């Protein structure tokens, strides 16, 4: 999985039936800096703007009950609380320091 920050939403009407609630995510590098790479992903865990999340891509995005048949290739699978690198904590949800 990759680490990403929720930075927006994508709305589309003429979409395949059942594709809804997609988030715009910006990938974060392993030192906590934002990258220019992004992903548009389905989101069942209701992540909010600025929250850091884990994104699964490929077939993993469809391994959720009720999503097996959706034409999606990315999904928010978890909201991150802490990332601990060796000892110092890189990110904590409460304080949002980086």
Largest separation between any pair of C-alpha atoms in the chain: 48
- From 21, 82, 96, 98, residue interacting with its own copies (rule: CB under 8 A): 82
Question: Could you give the C-alpha distances from 83 to 65, 79, 87, in angstroms and in order?
Answer: 28, 11, 10
Question: Could you give the C-alpha distances from 67 to 37, 73, 89, in angstroms and in order?
Answer: 25, 11, 34
Query: Looking only at residues 10 through 49 of this chain, which bind its own copies when binding is defined by CB under 8 A?
Result: 10-16, 19, 22, 24, 26, 29-30, 36-41, 44-46, 49
CA 63 to chain CA centroid, Å, is 15
Q: For residue 96, state whether it binds its own copies (rule: CB under 8 A).
A: no
Min dist. Cβ of residue 96 to its own copies (A): 15
Binding site for its own copies (CB under 8 A): 1-3, 7-16, 19, 22, 24, 26, 29-30, 36-41, 44-46, 49, 54, 56-64, 69-75, 77-86, 90
């Amino acid at each position: 999985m990759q680490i990403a920050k929720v930075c927006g939403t994508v709305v589309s009407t003429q979409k395949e039936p059942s594709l809804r609630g997609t988030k715009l995510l910006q990938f974060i590098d392993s030192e906590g800096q934002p990258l220019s790479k992004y992903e548009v992903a389905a989101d069942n865990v209701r992540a909010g703007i600025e929250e850091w999340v884990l994104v699964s891509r490929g077939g993993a995005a469809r391994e959720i009950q009720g999503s097996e048949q959706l034409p999606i290739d990315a999904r928010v699978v978890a909201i991150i609380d802490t990332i601990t690198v060796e000892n110092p904590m890189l990110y904590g949800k409460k304080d949002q320091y980086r």
